[in-house]
């Protein structure tokens, strides 16, 4: 990078000389997550309004459907994936790529287990006659938890992408910040699930 203007130039991408001393990508990720808070906030508001609104099918309700022990286990697995994410970041920051690959795959795997749990749960509910159109409660339940599931799916794709990039040598310890950004997203999705699990599953509707 021969350049005559390095000292005066805040270039379009030089992360090390920004006004706030924070890289653009990190600031961008935090900004985006701020927007996501409103996204889930609005969905959760809708759900709180419809939490006891069973339309014409009063038998399709939380107490007849939810299997709290099952969902607790899948919640626990998702939370543990955040721990694995932290360990993956620590590993790549210390330059331990083997350990990084193990933990990043473990994170993705736990995310996948959580998603499978959600798919299984949806299948069971469907079999019990719960449909998207049954009532405002069911519409809100499927769409809200479905969008969270989509966020988890997107996160898994990025985690596997990180793993693949480290295999072909595109992700090296010098780019550990990339793992940090995706980690921010992953932790955010986990925190949202803590709120969802409380609001959707644990708060009694009646």
Partner 1 sequence: MTAIAHKPSPGTAPGGSVFRRPTAERGWKSWFTTVDHKKIGIMYYLTSLFFFLVGGIEALLIRTQLATPGAEVLTADQYDQVFTMHGLTMIFFAVIPLGTAFFNYLLPLQLGARDVAFPRMNALSYWVFLFAGLFIYSSLLFDGMPDSGWFGYAPLSIIGSDPSGFTLFGTETTRMAFYSLGLQIAGIASIASSVNLIVTILNMRAPGMTLMRMPIFAWLTLVTSFLLLFAVPIIGVALWELMFDVAFGASFFRPSAGGDPLVWQHLFWLFGHPEVYVIIMPAFGIVSEVIPTFARKPLFGYAAMVFASITIAFMGFGVWAHHMFTVGMGPVATSAFALSTMFIAVPTGVKIFNWMGTLWGGQLRFTTAMLFAIGMVAMFTIGGLSGVTHALVPHNTQQHDTYYVVAHFHYVMFGGSVFGLFAGSYYWYPKVTGRLLKEGLGKIHFWLIFIGFNLTFGPMHILGLAGMPRRQYTYPDDMGWNVWNMMESVGSFILAIGVLVFLANLVISHRGPQDAGHDPWDARTLEWLTTSPPAPFNWTVVPKVSSRDEAWTRKYGHDEAKPQGVSAGASPEARAEELARVGYDPGGSGEGIHMPSPSYWPLVLAAGLPIMAYGVIFTGPLRIVLLAVGFLVLLTGMFGWALEPTTDDGQDHHEMTAAGAH
Q: Find tokens 């699930």 and name the residue.
A: 193
- Indicate the helix (H) or strand (E) that contains 47: helix 24-50
Residues that bind partner 1 (CB under 8 A): 1-5, 8-13, 18-20, 22, 24, 27-28, 31-32, 34-36, 38-39, 41-43, 45-46, 49-50, 53-56, 132-136, 138-140, 142-143, 147, 161, 168-170, 175
Cβ-based nearer residue to partner 1, 33 or 90 = 33
43 and 196 in contact (C-beta within 8 Å)? no
Smallest distance from the beta carbon of 154 to partner 1, in angstroms?
Answer: 10
Smallest distance from the beta carbon of 73 to partner 1, in angstroms?
Answer: 29
Cβ-based nearer residue to partner 1, 32 or 70 = 32
Token representation of residue 62 = 């939380």
- Alpha-carbon span 74 to 86, nearest angstrom: 19
Smallest distance from the beta carbon of 132 to partner 1, in angstroms?
Answer: 5
3-state secondary structure 57-117: CCCCCHHHHCCHHHHHHHHHHHHHHHHHHHHHHHHHHCCCHHHHHHHHHHHHHHHHHHHHH
Cβ-based nearer residue to partner 1, 26 or 187 = 26
Smallest distance from the beta carbon of 83 to partner 1, in angstroms?
Answer: 26
């Amino acid at each position: 990078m021969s350049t005559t203007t390095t000292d005066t130039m805040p270039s379009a991408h030089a992360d090390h000389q920004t006004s706030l001393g924070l890289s653009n990508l990190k600031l961008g990720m935090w900004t985006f997550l701020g927007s996501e808070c409103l996204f889930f906030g609005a969905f959760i508001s809708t759900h709180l309004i419809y939490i006891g609104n069973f339309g014409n099918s009063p038998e399709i309700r939380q107490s007849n459907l939810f299997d709290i022990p099952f969902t607790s286990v899948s919640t626990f697995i998702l939370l543990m994936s955040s721990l694995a994410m932290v360990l993956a970041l620590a590993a790549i920051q210390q330059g331990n790529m083997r350990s990084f690959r193990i933990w990043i795959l473990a994170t993705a795997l736990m995310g996948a287990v959580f998603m499978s749990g959600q798919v299984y749960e949806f299948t069971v509910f469907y079999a019990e006659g719960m449909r998207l159109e049954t009532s405002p409660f069911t519409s809100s339940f499927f769409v809200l938890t479905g969008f969270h599931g989509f966020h988890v799916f997107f996160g898994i794709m990025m985690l596997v992408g990180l793993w693949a990039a480290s295999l072909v040598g595109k992700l090296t310890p010098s780019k550990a910040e990339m793992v940090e950004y995706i980690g921010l997203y992953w932790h955010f999705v986990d925190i949202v699930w803590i709120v969802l699990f409380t609001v959707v599953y644990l708060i009694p509707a009646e």
